Amino acid sequence: MGLRAERVSWQVGGELIVDGVSLEPAQGETVGLLGPNGSGKSTLLRLLSGVRPVSAGVVSLDDVPIQRVGRRNVARRIGVVEQQADTEVDMTVFEVVGLGRVPHRRPWAGETAEDERAVRSALESTGLADKAGRCWHTLSGGERQRVQIARALAQQPRELLLDEPTNHLDIRHQLELLGLVVRLPVTSVLALHDLNLAAMFCDRLLVLRQGRAVVAGTPGEVLTPDLVAEVYGVRAEVTADGPEGRPSVRFLPGEPVEQGTASRG
């Protein structure tokens, strides 16, 4: 049930960007996708949202292949937040969040009371209720990301896909934003760069390298000095002194001792 990817691949120009990755987040779980740049995190998210069709394997929603669910129905189930969204149009926060109602709107019809309710409640749960009338162009980066999350929530999704939502944010806004995502009553899959933030906020992690899944599991199982060396080519020390005994990663200068198959750059 829910959103599931089974051995999905995606290739372009004969090059495999995502190579046989499987993922099945449990209801309400927060799953972090880790991996260096170009490891296929963003592409995997696009396959999960059905925006890109898979080259091989299956993405399914409640056991129905996502391409057969129909774009509109998918958009009522899955909300997507991109790395950085911008527009040249002068819009208020309320209007941007209202875009989340597009998949629910009937042709010809205007906004219904239900639309209004969904937008208000999305604004409430992202702490934006008092900013509804603000203009998009006057918002800070952190506020914009929160507005995009509110827009995704207005779609009333059960799954939320976020592509590096904390990019370009200062540390306080990163913590606030991820805290918000974790609290939401939806299943979330998010691509992240920061290993410590991933350890702190995610229930499970999936690590990708060159399109392949390297390891999956709880942050404690996944984040080890060996993995950091193998995937990122960086020397690190991992201790279990994060919040709730979660792992905490400290990077060290110099080359990793055992580098496995990672090439020297």
Partner 1 sequence: MSVSRTRSGGVGTTLLWVCGLVLLTLSVAFTITIGPAEIAVGNVWAVVGEHLGLGDSGLSLIREGIIWNLRLPRTVLAAVCGAGLGLCGVVMQALLRNPLADPYVLGISSGASTGAVAVVVLGVGSGVATLSLGAFLGSLCSFVLVLVFGHLVGSTPDRMILAGVAAMQLFSALTSFIVMSAADAEQTRSVLFWLLGSLGGTGWEEVWPCLGVLLVVLAVCLLKAPALDAFTFGHDAAAALGVSVTRTRTSLLIATALLTATLVSAAGAIGFVGLVLPHAARMLVGPGHRRLLPTTVLVGAIFLVWIDTVARTMLDPQEIPVGVMTSLIGVPAFAVVLYRSRKTRRS
List contacts with partner 1 (CB under 8 A). 46, 49, 51, 71-76, 78-80, 82, 85-92, 94-96, 98-100, 102-103, 105, 107-108, 110-111, 116, 132-135, 137-138, 155
Return the ∠ at Cα 66 (arms to 81 and 56), rounded to 5°. 100
Q: How far is CA 93 from the centre of its chain?
A: 22
- C-beta of 110 vs 243, nearer to partner 1: 110
Residue whose structure tokens are 């779609």? 155
Amino acid in the structure at residue 121: S
Residue whose structure tokens are 């392949």? 212
Return the ∠ at Cα 127 (arms to 123 and 131), rounded to 5°. 70
E-assigned strands of the chain?
A: 3-12, 15-23, 30-34, 56-61, 64-65, 78-81, 159-163, 187-191, 204-209, 212-217, 235-239, 248-252
Tell me the closest approach of the beta carbon of residue 195 to partner 1, in angstroms: 27
Give yes or no for a contact between 81 and 145, defined as CB atoms under 8 angstroms apart: yes
Tell me the closest approach of the beta carbon of residue 115 to partner 1, in angstroms: 10
- C-beta of 139 vs 214, nearer to partner 1: 139
Residue 235: exposure state from Cβ atoms within 10 A (0-12, 13-18, ≥19): middle
Tell me the closest approach of the beta carbon of residue 110 to partner 1, in angstroms: 6
Tell me the closest approach of the beta carbon of residue 80 to partner 1, in angstroms: 4
Tell me the closest approach of the beta carbon of residue 216 to partner 1, in angstroms: 25
